[in-house]
C-alpha cells in the first residue's frame, strides 16, 4: 500500500459524508424513538400539545396493554385496597383489574405461528436447496423460477381461494392453517437463500466422505449441515421476521383463536378512542425482537432481502 491512494476519500469529505449520514440516521430514528417514549406516557401526556419530550414516565400503557379493567364505585374501591403496583396505577381512574387482556394470547400466537412456519420452511427448504445445489434435476432453473414466482402474487389475490379452501378443510382461524400458509410463502426465500449458502460449500468435502463409505444422507447431515449452519440460522431469522410481521393473511384468515399480534395491536381501544400509550407499548414489545435480530443479522442482511441475488 502506498501512502497516497486515489480511491481513499479525503478527511474533509469523510467528515462531510459522516455528518450527513448521521443526520439522516437520527431523523429516521425519531418515529421509532417517539413510539417507544409514548409507551411510557400517561394517556393525557401522549396527546398533549405541544408534544411532550420530557414527562413523568409511567407504566400505565403497559398495564393497560396486558389487562382488562372495569370501572367501580367508590365503596367497592375503598373496601378492596389495591394488591400490587399495577392495581395502584389503574386506581387513579377508579378502575380495577379484572383479568388479562388478549394481548398475551395474540403475542403467543405470533410466537407459535412464527416459529412453527420457520421450522417447517427451513426443514423443507434445506432439503430442496441441497438437492438443487448438488444433483442434476430436470428443469431445475424452471422449478427454481416457479418457486420464486409464487412470491409475486399479491397476498390478497392468494387469500381469496385460500379462504375458500381453508373454510372447506376446517383450517380457517387455526394455527396449523397459518403455519402452512406462511411456510408456503417463506419457502421460496428459504430455498433461494439456502441454495446460495450450500453452493458455497465445496463439494470435495462430501465427495471425500462418500469415498470413505458414507451414504448421501450421512454426508448431508454430517458434513453439509454443520457447514451451512450460519446460512441456515440467518435464513431462519429472515423467515421468522416475515412470519412475525405478516398482516394481510392474518387479518383476513384469522379472528379469534389464531389471530397474531399485528392485526391486534392497532385495535387496542381505551376510554374515548385508541389508547395510544397501550398501542405504543404493544408496538414496542412487538418490534424490539425484530430490531435485535436485525442487528445480529447485519452481515447477511443484504443477501436475505434480495433472495440471495446480491451476496456482497
Partner 1 sequence: MTDTIANRAAKVTPQKVARKIKGLSDRAIAWIFVAPTIFLLLAINIFPLIWTIQLSFTNYKANRLNREPEFIGLRNYERILTDSDIWLNMQATAHFLFWTIALQVLIGFTLAWLINKKFKGNDLWTTIIVLPMMLSPAVVGNFWKFLYQPQIGLFNYIIAFFTGKEPSSFEMLGSVQLAPWSIVIVDTWMWTPFVMLICLAGLRSIPDYIYEAAEVDRASKLRQFFTITIPMVLPFLMLAVLFRGIENFKMFDLVVQLTGGGPGSTTELTSINLKREAFEKWRTGYASAYAIILFVTVFGLASIYVKALNKVKER
Q: Tell which positions 228-257 bind partner 1, by CB under 8 A.
A: 241, 244-248, 251-252
- Minimum distance between the CB of residue 218 and partner 1, rounded to whole angstroms? 8
Segment near partner 1 (CB under 8 A), from 7-15, 67-75, 91-99, 111-119?
7-15
Which one of residues 54, 79, 139, 211 is an interface residue with partner 1 (CB under 8 A)? 211
Residues 280, 39: contact at Cβ < 8 Å? yes
Among residues 156, 151, 226, 161, the alpha carbon closest in space to that of 190 is found at 151
Collect contacts of 141-149 with beta carbons under 8 A, ≥24 apart.
Answer: 144/191, 144/192, 144/195, 147/187, 147/188, 147/191, 147/192, 148/188, 148/192, 148/307
CB closer to partner 1 out of 28 and 73: 28
Instruction: Assess contact for 96 and 69: CB atoms under 8 A.
Output: yes
Residue numbers 255-274 binding partner 1 by CB under 8 A: 262-263, 265-266
Which one of 276, 281, 300, 308 is in contact with partner 1 (CB under 8 A)?
276
The three cell numbers locating residue 255: 379472528
User: Contact region for partner 1 (CB under 8 A) — 58-66, 83-91, 93-101, 183-191?
Assistant: 183-191
DSSP bridge partners of 68: 99
Q: How far is CA 278 from CA 31, 191, 196, in A?
A: 16, 39, 42
Interface with partner 1 (CB under 8 A), residue from 38, 64, 109, 118: 38
Q: Which residue among 29, 108, 233, 269 contacts partner 1 (CB under 8 A)?
A: 29
Q: Residue from 180, 225, 227, 270 that binds partner 1 (CB under 8 A)? A: 180
Name the minimum Å distance from CB 250 to partner 1.
9
Assess 24 for contact with partner 1 (CB under 8 A): yes
Nearer to partner 1, 70 or 150 (CB): 150
Minimum distance between the CB of residue 116 and partner 1, rounded to whole angstroms?
A: 14
Distances, alpha carbon 229 to alpha carbons 133, 135, 234, in Å: 16, 20, 9
Contact assessment for residue 182 and residue 242, using Cβ atoms and an 8 Å cutoff: yes
Element (H, E) at 261: helix 261-264
Whether 198 and 205 have beta carbons less than 8 Å apart is answered as no
List 62, 286, 300, 308, residue binding partner 1 (CB under 8 A): 286
Of residues 77 and 252, the one with the C-beta less far from partner 1: 252
Q: Tell me which of 70, 98, 108, 165 binds partner 1, using CB under 8 A.
A: 165
Residue 64 and residue 103: Cα distance in Å, rounded? 10
Residues between 105 and 164 that touch partner 1 (CB under 8 A): 124-125, 127-128, 130-132, 134-137, 143, 146-147, 149-150, 152-164
Q: What count of other Cβ atoms lies within 10 Å of the Cβ of residue 139?
A: 9
8 A C-beta contact, residue 210 and residue 216: yes
| Sites for partner 1 among residues 189-208 (CB under 8 A) | 191
Return the number of the residue (77 or 285) whose C-beta is nearest partner 1: 285
**What part of residues 46-75 is at the interface with partner 1 (CB under 8 A)?**
46-51
Amino acid at each position: 500500500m502506498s501512502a497516497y491512494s486515489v480511491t481513499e476519500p479525503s478527511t474533509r469529505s469523510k467528515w462531510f459524508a459522516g455528518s450527513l449520514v448521521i443526520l439522516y440516521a437520527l431523523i429516521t430514528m425519531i418515529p421509532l424513538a417517539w413510539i417507544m417514549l409514548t409507551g411510557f406516557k400517561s394517556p393525557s401526556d401522549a396527546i398533549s400539545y405541544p408534544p411532550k419530550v420530557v414527562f413523568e414516565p409511567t407504566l400505565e400503557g403497559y398495564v393497560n396493554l396486558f389487562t382488562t379493567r372495569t370501572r367501580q364505585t367508590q365503596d367497592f374501591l375503598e373496601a378492596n385496597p389495591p394488591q400490587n403496583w399495577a392495581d395502584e396505577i389503574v386506581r387513579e381512574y377508579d378502575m380495577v383489574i379484572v383479568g388479562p387482556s388478549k394481548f398475551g394470547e395474540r403475542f403467543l400466537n405470533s410466537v407459535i405461528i412464527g416459529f412453527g412456519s420457520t421450522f417447517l420452511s427451513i426443514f423443507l427448504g434445506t432439503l430442496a436447496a441441497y438437492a438443487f445445489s448438488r444433483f442434476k434435476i430436470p428443469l431445475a432453473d424452471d422449478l427454481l423460477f416457479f418457486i420464486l414466482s409464487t412470491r409475486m402474487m399479491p397476498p390478497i389475490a392468494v387469500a381469496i381461494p385460500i379462504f375458500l379452501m381453508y373454510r372447506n378443510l376446517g383450517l380457517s382461524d387455526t394455527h396449523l392453517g397459518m403455519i402452512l400458509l406462511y411456510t408456503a410463502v417463506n419457502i421460496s426465500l428459504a430455498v433461494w437463500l439456502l441454495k446460495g449458502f450450500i453452493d458455497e460449500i465445496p463439494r470435495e468435502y462430501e465427495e471425500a466422505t462418500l469415498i470413505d463409505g458414507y451414504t448421501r444422507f450421512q454426508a448431508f447431515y454430517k458434513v453439509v449441515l454443520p457447514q451451512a449452519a450460519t446460512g441456515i440460522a440467518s435464513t431462519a431469522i429472515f423467515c421468522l421476521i416475515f412470519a412475525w410481521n405478516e398482516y394481510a393473511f392474518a387479518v383476513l384468515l384469522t379472528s379469534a383463536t389464531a389471530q397474531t399480534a399485528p392485526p391486534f395491536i392497532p385495535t387496542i381501544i381505551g376510554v374515548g378512542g385508541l389508547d395510544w400509550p397501550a398501542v405504543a407499548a404493544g408496538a414496542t414489545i412487538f418490534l424490539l425482537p425484530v430490531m435485535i435480530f436485525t442487528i445480529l443479522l447485519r452481515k447477511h442482511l443484504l443477501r436475505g432481502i434480495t433472495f440471495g441475488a446480491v451476496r456482497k
